[in-house]
């Protein structure tokens, strides 16, 4: 959030610098025409300073925007990319929402970024049921990301059902690791 505030402040400073440069201009229709005088070296230096200040402010605004986008990317990459589900469930737990928020902010800010959501299930149940359950889980994550401002075209969903287990253990611990959605950036 601090970076966003800094970016806004730099943007406002750039706008004020441009407006300050425009404020010195006189409307030709409102004021009688005066003979033009050659610019003094002081006026040239002042104009040069204004121009360089506006360029500097614009450059700082671009840099702040880049740093803000880079920070969002780092937050998304640091966030967990595995989201686990309860037995026969496709609803998101409260613990997943913070990490999904980081991914949503990054994707919403970077419309060129794409993500594939892979839904998985444990080996219990039929193959067809597990494929459908993996799809419901991936769609649950998709809905949350879209609600948070991500463009639907940035998201691809696929269900592998029980075909790609994370754990080969045939116990509650192993099965719980296999009931998941994975986020994979492309």
H or E element, residue 72: helix 41-78
Could you give the dihedral angle defined by the CA atoms of residues 42, 43, 49 and 55, in that order, rounded to the nearest 10 degrees? -160
Task: Of 62, 66, 152, 65, give the one whose Cα is nearest residue 107.
Answer: 152
Two tokens at 131? 């494929």
Quick check: 131 pLDDT over 80? yes
- Say whether both 39 and 103 belong to one domain: no
Q: What is the CATH number of the domain that holds 133?
A: 3.30.1330.60
Kindly state whether residues 33 and 95 are assigned to the same domain.
no
Does residue 133 sit in the same domain as residue 87?
yes
Amino acid 28: pLDDT:
47
Domain boundary among 56, 74, 92: 74
Residue 31 has pLDDT above 70, yes or no: no
pLDDT exceeds 70 at position 42: no
One domain for residues 6 and 85: no
**Which residue, among 116, 163, 124, 170, has the nearest Cα to 142 in the 3D structure?**
116
Domain boundary pick from 74, 96, 117? 74
Q: Do 86 and 161 belong to one domain?
A: yes
DSSP-derived 3-state class of residue 84: strand
pLDDT of 9 higher than 60: no
Query: What's the total number of domains in the chain?
Result: 2
174, 112: one domain: yes
Range of the domain at 13: 2-74
Is the separation of the CB atoms in 182 and 84 below 8 Å?
A: no
109 plus 31 within the same structural domain: no
Last residue of a domain, one of 57, 74, 91: 74
Domain match, 96 and 48 both: no
Q: What is the pLDDT of residue 110?
A: 93
Q: How far is CA 28 from the centre of its chain?
A: 46
Report the pLDDT averaged over residues 144-164: 96
CA distances from 186 to 100, 104, 115, 159, 164 (A): 17, 15, 6, 17, 19
> Look-up: residue for tokens 């121009």?
51
Q: Using CA atoms, how far apart are residues 86 and 95, in angstroms rounded to an integer?
A: 13
Least confident of 31-35, 98-102, 117-121, 180-184: 31-35
Same domain, 25 and 100: no
d(CA 126, CA 128): 5
d(CA 128, CA 101): 31
| Dihedral of alpha carbons 81, 87, 89, 94, sign | negative
- How many angstroms separate the CA atoms of 142 and 148, rounded? 10
Q: Do 104 and 68 reside in the same domain of the chain?
A: no
């Amino acid at each position: 959030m601090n970076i966003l505030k800094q970016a806004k402040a730099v943007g406002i400073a750039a706008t004020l610098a441009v407006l300050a440069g425009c404020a010195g201009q006189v409307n030709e229709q409102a004021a009688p025409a005066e003979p033009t005088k050659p610019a003094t070296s002081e006026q040239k230096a002042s104009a040069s300073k204004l121009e360089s200040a506006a360029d500097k402010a614009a450059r700082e605004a671009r840099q702040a925007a880049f740093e803000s986008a880079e920070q969002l990317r780092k937050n998304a990459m640091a966030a967990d990319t595995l989201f686990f589900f309860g037995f026969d469930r496709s609803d998101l737990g409260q613990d997943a929402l913070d990490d999904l928020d980081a991914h949503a902010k990054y994707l919403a800010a970077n419309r060129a970024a794409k993500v594939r959501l892979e839904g998985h299930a444990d080996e219990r149940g039929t193959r067809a049921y597990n494929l459908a359950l993996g799809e419901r889980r991936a769609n649950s994550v998709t809905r949350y990301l879209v609600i948070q401002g991500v463009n639907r075209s940035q998201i691809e969903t696929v269900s592998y059902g029980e075909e790609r287990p994370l754990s080969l253990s045939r116990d509650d611990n192993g099965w719980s690791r296999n009931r998941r959605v994975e986020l994979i950036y492309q």
